[in-house]
Structure 1
């Protein structure tokens, strides 16, 4: 079974939702037969790469609320993150463009290190004091190396603005086609969708239902026929 997760590094509920999904997956009896693929979704695709700023004023302006209300909302997310065993800085974080991070995640997918890099990006953005938005490409390279990627290869990806850009845009177009208007957005075998950082029990239910409704292979002709198998190929008999 294949589970695709559309998310953004700037999305706190994606950070929390990933932890809740992984809790459900860890207890799922068929977890070893579930492939998880992370897809790109930018919450603020029009934001310039150089435009980074504090989270609280951004939230207040975006939702038309006071900064005190925005801070209360951050405190709530922090409490829910803590309940999942996640570190979360409710003060002093910033916000910015995530396109380069998504490009790097597609490179990491090719190297089999996508989940490792995604988790490090989340940790860096939500739990650490250093910024992933204002320190330049070398900060992302550091995280790529920590995830097991080659530093020079990561620098080359980041230096080439076209590298993996089409893959990011393709993910975003596909999200729109599937009806995703926000993230996290989970798609199970292209049959079931789960929107938001749902409780682990909801993901358990979705995994169980999707697995149970997978269609077994139907053979259209049960008659004996020549085949090749582990022991070799059938040898035609002389008539």
Structure 2
């Protein structure tokens, strides 16, 4: 059974949601029969390459908050992440275009290294002092995930490489009605949004497993949870 996860590396709830999903999957009896595919979703698709700003400034501008309120928002997310055993820095992080990283993730998918690269990218963005908006950092992350360094560098240098794959994922997310991430589709029959508790993911997997069919229909799409997802 396939589980598709739309996410963006800039989304802290996706970072948390991935950890919770993996805990829920670990508790699922048929976990070895689950194929997980990560799909692209940009929270800031209009931002140009090289256009970065501090996360606190981005949050204050996007939500009309003061810098102090934006810091409090970050601290809330950080405490939630740490409760899941995840490292999270609230200072010194930047926000920028994730399009190139999504293109590199599609290369990693083709080479069977997608999940490894996603984990490294999340850690670099949220836990380490490394910018995932720098081509050099992305190349290094790709190599650490097991991609040939020259191949990763070539993809990043070619703006068309895997670009259509990213856009196709985003068109599909729009067609499914997804307006925020993380967004989970189980067996093409069930939709689940937000960084749900691990137990919720386990129950959803059990329901999807019991109801799976050879040719599943499109999923129903629930509303996004503002406390557990990132919206466009």
Tell me, yes or no, whether TM beats 0.5.
yes
Residue 211 of structure 2: aligned partner = 213
Verify the 8 A CA contact 2:101 2:132 in the aligned structure 1: no
Contact 2:7 2:40 in 1 (8 A): yes
Following the alignment from structure 1 to structure 2, what is the Cα–Cα distance between the partners of residues 120 and 46? 25
Tell me by how many angstroms 1:82 deviates: 0.5
Say which one has the larger Rg. 1
What does residue 121 of structure 2 align with?
Answer: 121
- Among residues 194, 197, 206, which one is paired with 1:196 in the alignment? 194
Q: Is the contact made by 2:7 and 2:182 (CA closer than 8 Å) also made in structure 1?
A: yes
Q: Deviations over 1:166-218 (max 9, x none)?
A: 0000000000001100000000011100100011111111001000111379x
- Per the TM alignment, residue 59 of structure 1 is displaced from its structure 2 partner at its CA by 0.2
List structure 1 segments (4+ residues) > 4 angstroms apart after TM superposition: none
Counterpart in the other structure of 2:152: 154
Indicate the residue corresponding to 2:221 in structure 1. Answer: none
- Any unmatched runs of 5+ in structure 1? 218-239
Q: Secondary structure at the match of 1:87?
A: coil
Pair 1:63–1:150, CA change in 2 (3 A):
same
Q: How far did 1:130 drift?
A: 2.0
Q: How many residues align?
A: 215
TM-score with structure 2 setting the length: 0.91
1:152-191 maps to which residues of 2 (within 5 A)? 152-191=150-189
TM-score if structure 1 supplies the norm length?
Answer: 0.88
Where structure 2 has 5 or more consecutive residues not aligned to the other structure, the ranges are 216-232
Question: Equivalent residue of 1:38, what SS?
Answer: strand
Distance 1:58 1:160 in 2: 28
* Cα 1:112–1:92 shift into 2, 3 Å: same
Shift of 1:97: 0.3
